[in-house]
Structure 1
Amino acid sequence: MGRTRTEQLAARFASRIRDHLLPAGTRLPSVRQCAQQQGVSPSTVVSAYDQLQAQGLIEARPHRGFFVREVVARRLQGEAHPAPVPFRAAPADAAPGPAEGVRDERSAAAAAMRNAPSAASLMRGMFNPISDKPQPAMGMLPSAWLQTDFLAAAVRKAATQLHEVTAFYGDARGDAQLREVLAMRLQATQVPAQAHQVITTAGATQALDIIARTLLRPGDSVMVESPGWSVEFARLQALGLRMLPVPRGPEGPDLAVMARYCEAHAGTPQAPRLFISVSVLHNPTGYCLSPASAHRLLQLAHAHDFYIAEDDTYQHLAPEHMLRLSALDGLQRCIYVSGFSKILAPGWRIGYLAAPERWLEPLLDTKLLASLTAPALLERALAHCIEHGQLRRHALRVQAQLDAARSRSVRLARQAGARFVAEPAGLFGWVDTGVDTERLAQVLLDDGYLLAAGALFDPERAPSTCMRINFASTQTPEFWRAYERARERV
């Protein structure tokens, strides 16, 4: 027997909730909006929402609407008890951003709690696509672009030394040959790193995690860019850190806001200890740091004694001449982070950091506690690819493909009425849709598209009309036609 429309609609929402595509705290469309979007009667929606409430998946909040229950996320993750909320909102005297008012601490904490499952939902959707269509929310290049012959050949060559590189734990800092090669690459970009200052990691994400765990303690303050990377926000919240949002513009971070944070808490335990920044091809805007902003930022860091984690994840997609903070700073207050997942093979998970001398041993201790050692065989193979210029040539080919894809995607986006907030560059575009993109994302799920809504990139999960698109996966008319249809239904 076929299911009724009510049962079909309830099952559709239930599936998305259980798959974390509608994370805890998500507001569902109003009865009227849902009826219009799904082409059913309001009574069908009311009955479907009643079923979802009976299953414990959503709750009705008076005068606000229907929301995915927080308890669902904990139950689905196997947690027997509510997890503590580690986030502490910045007080009113901590220099909120230009258009921000004073926010209630409890509501900010609730927003922070919602951000973690939202970031996880985006990652789940990226790792387990909801359809076979190219996904605008993807954070990586198409797998076909990353197919090469030289990777397999490099692994075979490294395997001839299999016993040598795998029979022992090896050097906890990483394969010596790879660290030498990486140091030479950094020196070519004016970052004065020696091989002993390089520590390999399981991707750039682990490098950032090692830095936070080494330099910070629960309750410490860390400045983050807004908009910024949702997964990084969720990870910092899980560590119990106090995030201070810094608006990011075309030239760099808002230095006036950073100065106010530092001055408001000078000499106290709440003084910012770390700033995390993507200086080149910022995610999600594509902005690059200007020399003038970089110089003033380093002056501020020296004056107020905080460190900078420079995330250069997208280095292989950027022009070689772009300025790095770590080069200007000489690795005094900057810790440089990068990796190869974006350009080479996401499954390899090889990243690295280059740090000031005084932090090398503490950072290494943190790595040892987390992973003991490194995947020596893959690191040796990667060293071979870099030494023989194969990675550089591959990166140039990918850059050419991305340039062409970006041109097509931008043209289609503008034809569809989308407006780019930032000049398109790199892998991602930051697009203003003119409508709430969390609602837009829900509608696009019906067409099999996972959207990266702008709220995901705000540390406090504020509603946004912006979305992040991947140029490589939005260069065909099909997505933009679905976008136009969905926008009309929001």
Structure 2
Amino acid sequence: MLTRTASQTLTEQLAGRFAERIRARLLAPGARLPSVRECARQHEVSPHTVVAAYDVLLAQGLVEARRQRGFFVRDTLALPVPPAAAGQAPDAGPLPAGSGMHATALIRGMFHQSSRPQPGSGVLPADWIDLPALPAAVRKVAASKAWAKASLQYGEPMGDAGLRALLAHRLAAQHIPATAEQIMTTVGATHALDIVSRTLLKAGDPVLVEEPGWSVEFARLEALGMRVLPVPRRADGPDLDVMARYCQTHAPRLFVSVSVLHNPTGYSLAPGAAHRLLQLAQAFDFHIVEDDTYGHIAPEHATRLTALDGLQRTIYVGGFAKILAPNWRVGYLAAPAPLVERLLDTKLLATLTTPTLLEQALAICMEQGQLRRHAERVRIRLDAARNRSVELARAAGCVFAAEPAGLFGWVDTGVDTDLLAQRMFDDGYLLAPGALFLAGRQASTLMRINFATTQDAAFWSAFSRVRATL
């Protein structure tokens, strides 16, 4: 809540809070600010204070007034950031309503430090993945004479050879026939997806994506100038009838799929649907990128397209941010042999190489079995967390739109979750509203929850209280 102080009036505090949100892109361009009456009620100030604060934002060029519609955020990319605001992490503030809530707003919100578990987070809590073996492995690599010499040069273009050999062994256990020469390390799985897109596509090309799906992928493809074609995701896989119509009409060049423990629904691909999907790719000549980001917590015998296809039309993408070390940014891709050199050229143009120190430390953790044992512990802990979160969500009146599985739950709240997210962020909780996972960003009553961060009854109590006001 705002409090009157000797150094700042309530108007200055309220205007400053909105200004920080806008400059940090937590309030997206085009987002509508709360009405004067609603804002006054939320912050327990007078309407006069809100009008004065909005006038300050108008004077700073951060918002614009639209007659009989309210105040809307302007695009501030070209505006200078005041020195006082530069480098400061924003405190809790409103998120945009409607289509203004977008992927980068969620990402920026995730960087906000909070003592509360964040229901909209995309990663496991820090205490779940604080593995002592990681710093020990880094120290071991850094102390070696070989690394000291290698650090004075660029690393191997394809990535550390030892890590790629271990990754080939891991993929072979999943019946994915990739040699070390077909595997390339990347700066996280998102970088791998970007390499594939930049190599195989050009601006204007149609790309098939799953809907609901990963909001960051929608935004990334749109930023590259691609035509995004949303395919409804069902429990057994993508809607193949819709996909076939797209193929006949638009001739897509690529399909991006999270086939196992799909984000946000938790669905996993059925073998029959996988077989028909590969037939469609063959008939209409497009590639499939299989993003297996959640493979470490997936069932052992989950169906993977790359295993059925044998890396002919498929490209496999994996990473370690969800299970081990989000900030290490170690990812990889495995591709058909004829595509490897083209993909490598794209990687070289973007990053030259990838950090050898972290790749070799990760290889130690894999080789000594520490990663495998850690993943087993996480799966057991996640199963218990999921049971607890599902119980609390249902007690709060939520309905699961998909059978709970994996890290995420896809729940129907019964209210507009863009508005809910705005109100809950004022209480210090970051939500992931359904509009984020829809290519058209239309309003939705659905939201994605992280089972590992929604075991706290206090969150569900706040959720119920806020939802009752909408």
TM-score for the superposition, normalised by structure 2:
0.90
Structure 2, unmatched stretches of 5+, are 1-5, 83-97
> CA–CA distance in 2 between the matches of 1:328 and 1:62?
58
Q: Retained in 2: the 8 A contact 1:24–1:73? A: no
- Counterpart for residue 161 of structure 2: 176
Q: 1:52-86 CA distances to partner (integer Å, 9 max, x unpaired)?
A: 333322223345433222x22442689xxxxxxxx
Give aligned-pair identity as a percent: 64
> CA–CA distance in 1 between the matches of 2:223 and 2:381?
37
Q: Give 2:16's match in structure 1, choosing from 11, 18, 21.
A: 11
- Counterpart for residue 126 of structure 1: 110
> CA–CA distance in 2 between the matches of 1:66 and 1:259?
43
- Counterpart for residue 439 of structure 1: 419
- Counterpart for residue 130 of structure 2: 147
Q: Retained in 2: the 8 A contact 1:10–1:48? A: yes
Three-state SS of the structure 2 residue aligned to 1:34 is: helix
Which segment is superposed worse, 289-298 or 330-339? 289-298
- Counterpart for residue 25 of structure 1: 30
> CA–CA distance in 2 between the matches of 1:169 and 1:57?
44
CA offset at residue 430 of structure 1?
Answer: 1.2
Three-state SS of the structure 2 residue aligned to 1:72 is: coil
Q: Retained in 1: the 8 A contact 2:155–2:355? A: no
Q: 1:114-153 CA distances to partner (integer Å, 9 max, x unpaired)?
A: 57xx322211111222x32111121111111111222223
Are 1:75 and 2:58 counterparts? no
Q: Give 2:177's match in structure 1, choosing from 192, 198, 213.
A: 192
**Which aligned pairs between 1:268-417 and structure 2 lie closer than 5 A?**
271-417=251-397
Q: Give 1:264's match in structure 2, choosing from 249, 265, 271.
A: 249
CA offset at residue 167 of structure 1?
Answer: 3.6
- Counterpart for residue 92 of structure 2: none
Q: Taking structure 1 as reference, are residues 179 and 237 closer, same or farther at Cα in structure 2, changes over 3 Å only? A: same
Letter in 2 for 1:12: R
CA offset at residue 25 of structure 1?
Answer: 1.8
- Counterpart for residue 471 of structure 1: 451
Letter in 2 for 1:363: L
CA offset at residue 444 of structure 1?
Answer: 1.0
Three-state SS of the structure 1 residue aligned to 2:76 is: helix
**Which aligned pairs between 1:225-236 and structure 2 lie closer than 5 A?**
225-236=210-221
Which segment is superposed worse, 4-13 or 309-318? 4-13
CA offset at residue 45 of structure 1?
Answer: 3.8
Three-state SS of the structure 2 residue aligned to 1:225 is: strand
Q: 1:333-358 CA distances to partner (integer Å, 9 max, x unpaired)?
A: 10000001111111211110000111
> CA–CA distance in 2 between the matches of 1:27 and 1:432?
24
TM-score for the superposition, normalised by structure 1:
0.87
Which segment is superposed worse, 17-26 or 398-407? 17-26
Q: Retained in 1: the 8 A contact 2:23–2:81? A: no
Letter in 2 for 1:66: F
CA RMSD, 1 decimal: 2.0
> CA–CA distance in 2 between the matches of 1:61 and 1:156?
58
> CA–CA distance in 2 between the matches of 1:35 and 1:418?
29
Three-state SS of the structure 1 residue aligned to 2:447 is: strand
Structure 1, unmatched stretches of 5+, are 79-110, 266-270
Which 4+ stretches in 1 moved above 6 angstroms?
none
- Equivalences, count: 448
Are 1:50 and 2:55 counterparts? yes
